[in-house]
Amino acid sequence: MEAIINDIGFIIGTTLMYSTPLMFTSLGGVITERSGVVNIGLEGMMFFGAFVAATVAYYTQNPWLGFLCAGLGGAFLGLLHAIACVSFAAEQIVSGIAINFLGPGLALFLSRLFFDGATQTLTIPNKIPLPLHFLFGEGKLFKSAGFMDLVFNRFATVYLAFLLVLLVWFVLYKTKVGMRVQAVGEHPEAADTLGISVYRIRYGAVIMSGFFAGLGGASMSIAVVSRFSNTLISGHGFIALAAMIFGKWKPQGAMLACLLFGGAKGFEIFLGAKGVPVSSSLLAMLPYILTIIVLVGIVGKTTPPAAIGKIFDKSGK
């Protein structure tokens, strides 16, 4: 009996761990798309963030500094996306695709530079800490490898991700800035006639989305694992994008969708660990197949922000 409970704990725990990178990135997606700018470059931003986090954490031995710098790295790519899409009215999908090439390209180039020609970083000395260990000491609060320990004794990034969901929800729905972001995403001309700068809001939102995607990458490379490699992100950014859409462009919805996709990953790892005689390659496809099934299932039931993907151009006046 206890074995079964612990198995469930294991699945929940891995679900939380793997949902976290998705949640950060997905929240980034919510912010930018609610302001009306499509950002399919989340994948590239996440990839770059994962690299920056591991590199900084390796050289400074400080995972938190790596975490922050990953955000800044993502924000830098976000800035490029904003310059292209907001100032120069570039097609947002095309710019996003460019970011998806640029992020990994930049990461691998720098990786070869810093790590002796390798396309992966060395193992970092200190991962993001486990706050329960930090606060109460190892094995003090919950029995090691027991249900509670498996579920709650998780990296700080896991807790941060859930806090961030709350924060984004609050800012979006309860503050002046959030209302303006929504207005700009629904009807930029209306916001403009009321003296709100559509450009400024969109710049802010796109840069923030890059920051969050960078954090998502970091929570992969310096928490879930302890190094960056070029196959680490492999589509997580796109799954986060899908989660954002499945979550109906809402932070709370995106969170639930990420937990669902993370759950598929957790289940996959559980089956792998139990030695179920199914090819691991097939198991690894589980989250992606789930993405397709879920997205097909919800077609036609969601309403994206009205001005999404549309170029706002004041210069014609």
Partner 1 sequence: MTAIDFSQKTVEMINVVKKFGDFVANDGINLTVHKGEVHALLGENGAGKTTLVNCLYGLYHPTAGTIRINGRELNVTDPNVAIQNGIGMVHQHFMLVEPFTVTQNIILGRETTKLMGILDLSAAEKKVAEISERYGLAINPRDKIEDISVGSQQRVEILKALYRGAEILILDEPTAVLTPPEIQELVMIIRNLTQEGKSIIIITHKLHEIKQVADYCTIIRRGKYIDTVEVDTVTEQELASMMVGREVSFAVEKKPQKRGPKILTIDNLVVEDNRGIQALKGLSLELHKGEILGVAGVDGNGQSELIEALTGLRTVRSGKILLHNKEITGALPKQIIDGYNIRTIPEDRQKRGLVLEFDVAENLVLETYHKKPFSWRGVLNHPEIYQYADDSAKEFDIRPANPYLTAKSLSGGNQQKVIIAREVGNDPEVLIASQPTRGLDVGAIEYVHAALVEQRDRGKAVLLVSFELDEVINVSDRIAVIFEGKIVGTMAAEGVDENEIGLMMAGGTS
Over the range 105-116, which residues count as b (16 or more CB within 10 Å of their CB) and which as e? ebbbebbeebbe
d(CA 197, CA 207): 16
Q: Is 311 in the site for partner 1 (CB under 8 A)?
A: no
Looking at residue 274, its amino acid is K
List 89, 135, 163, 177, residue binding partner 1 (CB under 8 A): 177
Residue 137 or residue 195: which is nearer to partner 1 going by CB?
195
d(CA 47, CA 172): 26
Positions in 258-277 near partner 1 (CB under 8 A): none
Residue 7 or residue 192: which is nearer to partner 1 going by CB?
192
Smallest gap, in angstroms, from Cβ of residue 188 to partner 1? 10
List 1, 116, 137, 174, residue binding partner 1 (CB under 8 A): 174
Nearest to 88 by CA among 222, 228, 202: 202
- Segment near partner 1 (CB under 8 A), from 21-29, 130-138, 174-182, 268-276? 174-182
Residue 229: strand pairing partners? 120
- Segment near partner 1 (CB under 8 A), from 40-48, 108-116, 176-184, 254-262? 176-184
Residue 174 or residue 231: which is nearer to partner 1 going by CB?
174
Residue 48 or residue 203: which is nearer to partner 1 going by CB?
203
Looking at residue 70, its amino acid is A
Positions in 65-84 near partner 1 (CB under 8 A): none
d(CA 237, CA 219): 13
Helix axes 156-174, 251-273, angle to 10 degrees: 160
Give the HSE-up count for residue 225: Cα atoms under 13 Å, Cβ half-sphere.
17
Positions in 179-208 near partner 1 (CB under 8 A): 179-180, 182-183, 186-187, 189-196
Q: Supply the DSSP symbol for 231.
A: T
Please give the size of the binding site for partner 1, defined by CB under 8 A.
20
Binding mask 290-309 for partner 1 (x = CB under 8 A): ----------------x---
d(CA 6, CA 147): 5
Q: How many residues does the chain have?
A: 317
Nearest to 264 by CA among 254, 272, 252, 274: 272
Smallest gap, in angstroms, from Cβ of residue 6 to partner 1? 43
Residue 34 or residue 81: which is nearer to partner 1 going by CB?
34
Smallest gap, in angstroms, from Cβ of residue 25 to partner 1? 25
Helices (H), 35-87: 42-60, 63-82
Residue 194 or residue 299: which is nearer to partner 1 going by CB?
194
- Contacts to partner 1 by CB under 8 A: 174-177, 179-180, 182-183, 186-187, 189-196, 306, 317
